[in-house]
Chain A
Amino acid sequence: MNQKNNLIVGIIIGLVVVASYNVDANPIEFVEGLPNLAIVAEEMTQVDAELFGTAFWSMFETIQMAFIGTIVGVAIALPLSMFAARNLNSKFVYGPVRAILAAIRTFPSILWAILFVIMVGLGPFAGVLAIIMYTVGFVAKLQYESIETIDADPMDAVSSIGVSKWQLIRYVVIPESAPHLLSQMLYMFDYNVRQTSILGLVGAGGIGFYIINYIKFFEYGKAAVFMLVVLITVLIIDWISVKIRDKYIIKSQHGMEVTTT
């Protein structure tokens, strides 16, 4: 490592120290606080097994919310991404659409949830709406980026047949970007399950509602049951999405190349 790199590393460390001082991030307090964590951890081990039924039902509700949010969100995001892709539209079309999508992404889902709780009242529906908004903003962005990277050759070859723009989208753009879309849907569903779990914090339904309430009343053992169920669910979803990915995405992206000779 040369002098210049040493200097850069030194500056970065210096900046971290200065910033920590500014925000009162003190490592000594962290060490002193460790015993408190032990108390919480000990209380968490006093799991209230009776609550597992409720936990599973509320998890099921959460999964359903995430499922609706993902599917509806993707269904809205897909056409929007077609309008936002630079290789399919003029800048007068993709410009405004991108601006709207960027605005949607500015709010994290918890802020959308607060907004929708005000609109439609407490409960899972507000959570579903929040998940939809968040999914639209993100999937549309990921999707228009993947549309822009699809191979120009099939696009040129098929447009030279004299097809309409909609036929081009239906027969080239969608099939060519389908593996990406499936991958994004799986990622988004996984992400939405975890998101929905905390939307309960603002009263937008789901398992988070129970977690935040038990924590508020210092009943860590009861909260632990719900957190354990979230953990198990996320692991299961992760396992399933790996299976789906292997079957449909990896294979089509690294298509077996058979040589001529």
Chain B
Amino acid sequence: MELLLMKKSSSISTIFTKKIIQMNNVSTSYDSKNYALKGINLSIDKGTNYAIVGKSGSGKSTLLKLMNGMMSPSEGTIKIEYQTPKMNDKNFKVLMHKIGYIPQSLGLIKNISVLENVLIGALPRLGKIQSMFKIFPEKEIQEAKNILKLVGLSGKEERKAYMLSGGEKRRVAIARALMQKPTILLADEIVSELDQATAREIMELISDAQKRMNLTAIMVHHDIRLALEYSNRVAVIQEGEKILEIGIEGDKIMDFETGGLTNQEILEMYSDESKK
């Protein structure tokens, strides 16, 4: 269990017991027989650093898209802050702004500057005329600069996004999400393609921001070790089903649902891929 000793003693406060995300028996299907996700139950407390681990094609990215309303389940119910996520719903759009979503591809706009990419996170707070003529209030520009400083990109505000390195691009995507002043942060495998050192820097940055802003962070990972190291709770998804959920308190591992597998077995299952 030396893995768990590596974990930083995080000080999640247990007073936040509000369930910010609840999924009941959620399934999504391509057609009547093939399911991307099958009967997923999830309940995430406010302020948790939650990790979802699974192999490619296990349905873990779909889970995030269900949470921000980009996809709808074919069965079951989802509640995000007691609302059902639905992209074209006017009421949900307000909540959507409070959900920072970083896709695996990051989705930066390559021809514009770092600062402008970050300011996009503030767009729903802008009026029609202001956004049409790109007139950002001084307050927002200052905020964007502060966030860029936080993610370690000060001095690079005017660079075009395509000129950045992989690690820097991730920092910009995180900054854009933080610019939304989110309560929930969803990140889809954003460190998988990075080398170990850079991946850790990015993970540190997110857990730092998560604690400082009391965010609920939900991160999808390929590597279970990284998930155990930085998260309070880890769910393992295999072929569309949740086969395991473990919580970490201090140095102790707490099983919630093991599905008959031991922790060691789970770790071994994913160790091949995490050695990369």
- Contact across chains for B107 and A157 when beta carbons are under 8 A apart: yes
Q: Tell yes or no: B131 within 8 A of A by CB.
A: yes
A residues within 8 A CB of B97? Answer: 161-162
A171 and B166 in contact, given A161-B97, A162-B124, A260-B198 (Cβ under 8 angstroms) = no
A residues within 8 A CB of B131? Answer: 164, 166-167, 170-171
Contact bitstring A148-184, B, C-beta under 8 A = 1, else 0: 0000011111111111101100111001101100000
Neighbour of B165 across the interface among A155, A160, A172, A260, CB < 8 A = A260
- Contact across chains for A162 and B93 when beta carbons are under 8 A apart: yes
Interface extent on B, as a size class? 35 or more
Nearest B residue to A160 via CB reads B101
A167 and B103 in contact, given A258-B165, A260-B165 (Cβ under 8 angstroms) = no
Neighbour of A160 across the interface among B70, B108, B110, B198, CB < 8 A = B70
CA distance A219 to B103 in the complex (A): 68
Contacts of B171-218 to chain A: CB distance below 8 A: 173, 176, 180, 193-195, 198
A residues within 8 A CB of B173? Answer: 157
- Contact across chains for A156 and B107 when beta carbons are under 8 A apart: yes
B residues within 8 A CB of A175? Answer: 109, 111-112
CA distance A172 to B116 in the complex (A): 11
How many residues in A have their beta carbons less than 8 Å from beta carbons of B? 29
Neighbour of B108 across the interface among A154, A163, A164, A259, CB < 8 A = A154
- Contact across chains for B111 and A179 when beta carbons are under 8 A apart: yes
Nearest A residue to B103 via CB reads A157
Nearest A residue to B70 via CB reads A160
A37 vs chain B, min Cβ distance (A): 50
A259 and B166 in contact, given A156-B103, A162-B94, A170-B131 (Cβ under 8 angstroms) = yes
B59 vs chain A, min Cβ distance (A): 18
A-B residue pair count with CB separations less than 8 angstroms? 100
Q: Tell yes or no: A252 within 8 A of B by CB.
A: yes
- Contact across chains for A260 and B194 when beta carbons are under 8 A apart: yes
- Contact across chains for B105 and A171 when beta carbons are under 8 A apart: no
CA distance A24 to B183 in the complex (A): 77
- Contact across chains for A158 and B107 when beta carbons are under 8 A apart: yes
- Interface class of chain A by DSSP: helix
Q: Tell yes or no: B128 within 8 A of A by CB.
A: yes
A residues within 8 A CB of B124? Answer: 161-164, 167
* Interface stretch of the complex, out of B37-45, B143-151, B156-164: B156-164
Neighbour of B101 across the interface among A157, A257, A259, CB < 8 A = A157
Nearest B residue to A260 via CB reads B166
Q: Tell yes or no: B106 within 8 A of A by CB.
A: yes
- Contact across chains for B110 and A255 when beta carbons are under 8 A apart: yes
Q: Tell yes or no: A256 within 8 A of B by CB.
A: yes
Neighbour of A153 across the interface among B69, B105, B126, B160, CB < 8 A = B105
- Contact across chains for A258 and B194 when beta carbons are under 8 A apart: no
A residues within 8 A CB of B220? Answer: none
A183 vs chain B, min Cβ distance (A): 13
Q: Tell yes or no: B132 within 8 A of A by CB.
A: yes
Contact bitstring A239-261, B, C-beta under 8 A = 1, else 0: 00000000000001001111111
Q: Tell yes or no: B248 within 8 A of A by CB.
A: no
- Known: A157-B102, A167-B126, A170-B134; 12 extra A-B contacts, CB below 8 A, are A157-B103, A157-B105, A161-B97, A162-B94, A162-B124, A163-B123, A166-B131, A167-B131, A170-B131, A171-B116, A259-B165, A260-B193
Interface pairs A-B: 10 shortest CB-CB: A157-B107, A255-B162, A162-B96, A260-B166, A162-B97, A153-B105, A154-B107, A153-B107, A160-B101, A258-B165
Q: Could you jot down 22 A-B contacts, CB within 8 Å?
A: A154-B107, A155-B107, A156-B103, A157-B102, A157-B106, A157-B107, A157-B173, A158-B109, A160-B68, A160-B96, A160-B99, A161-B176, A162-B93, A162-B94, A162-B124, A167-B124, A171-B123, A175-B109, A255-B163, A256-B163, A259-B165, A260-B167
